Amino acid sequence: MTGRENLWMRPDRPARGPRPAFSRARLTEVAIRIADAEGLDAISMRRLATEIGAGTMSLYRYVSSKDDVIELMIDAVVADYLPPDAVMTGDWRADLRGFAVGVRQTMLRHPWVAPLVGTRQQPSPNRVRMLDAALRMVDDLGMSFNEMLTVIGTVFAYVNGFVEAELAEAEALRRTGLDLMEWMTLQVPYLQSVVASGSYPMVARMLTEGGQDYVDVGDRFDFGLDRLLDGIAARLPHASG
């Protein structure tokens, strides 16, 4: 891996030389396991290498940089945005909703992926696959192709933004190494001083009545998603589904 070529356009097996000791698939699998358990910054080339049982620099035979490892990880996870048994009903709204729910569930299983995929739009096999599937869901609805792209992009923006926020607190705990109790102990005095100032009545209400009729995170996700789909449906050229 000497640098410039595209990560996704390499032959599986080189023509000459000894057979490789491992594979990019193995590398990806190990990296995902570490990131799931300990977060993205637990991933270093040295750590990956020892976990695989190889020398650090050997990884660079399979990948031209750490960035490539990240790309491999993203692509692998994106593969199950749509589970293999997902069916397209032909009802665009149900299909798109199922897709969004699947994306969220996958992102919750791999908490490091949402921030990455939100900020990296490089094409990769599974991202291409998912984009194609999503576009097929809104085909034949009387929209222009760019309108279809806009709709898909809108839904995905919402899902990504929501899940990032959803994971933010857990990530803060991981980043600081604190447990929930310690973290609260740090934030509460400040919030109390905010409330005491009297300048932020709504935030004050949040701290007092916020816990009252608690709304489940999944329900909040569904609410926003359904409102978005409502709004889109109302603007469709002709009512289909």
Partner DNA sequence: TGAAACCACGTACGACGTACCCAGTTTCTA
Partner DNA sequence: TAGAAACTGGGTACGTCGTACGTGGTTTCA
Task: Report the site for a second copy in 35-94 (rule: CB under 8 A).
Answer: 67
Identity of the residue, 54 or 204, whose beta carbon is nearer to a second copy in the bound complex: 204
Question: What is the Cα Rg of the chain in Å?
Answer: 22
Binding-site size for DNA (CB under 7 A) equals: 26
Q: Which residues contact 159 (CB under 8 A, 6 or more apart)?
A: 100, 103, 104, 107, 225
The alpha carbon dihedral of 64, 68, 72, 75 has a sign of negative
222 binds, among DNA, a second copy, none (CB under 5 to 8 A by kind): none
Q: Is 184 in the site for a second copy (CB under 8 A)?
A: no
* Residue 53 backbone class (left: φ over 0; alpha: ψ -120 to 50; beta: rest): left
Rounded to a whole number of angstroms, the minimum distance from the CB of residue 35 to DNA is 12
Q: Is 180 in the site for a second copy (CB under 8 A)?
A: no
Contact between 89 and 136 (Cβ < 8 Å): no
Binding-site size for a second copy (CB under 8 A) equals: 77
- CA 145 from chain center: how many Å? 25
Contact between 54 and 45 (Cβ < 8 Å): no
Q: Is 102 in the site for a second copy (CB under 8 A)?
A: no
Contact between 34 and 51 (Cβ < 8 Å): yes
Contacts to a second copy from residues 136-155, by CB under 8 A: 136, 139, 144-147, 149-150, 153-154
**Residue (of 109, 111, 30, 110) closest to 63 by Cα position:** 30
Contacts to DNA from residues 21-60, by CB under 7 A: 21-22, 43-47, 54-58, 60
Which of 37, 121, 177, 196 forms a contact with a second copy (CB under 8 A)? 121
Identity of the residue, 21 or 205, whose beta carbon is nearer to a second copy in the bound complex: 205
Which of 4, 9, 12, 16 forms a contact with DNA (CB under 7 A)? 16
Provide the binding-site residues for DNA, judged by CB under 7 A. Answer: 3, 14-22, 43-47, 54-58, 60-62, 65-67
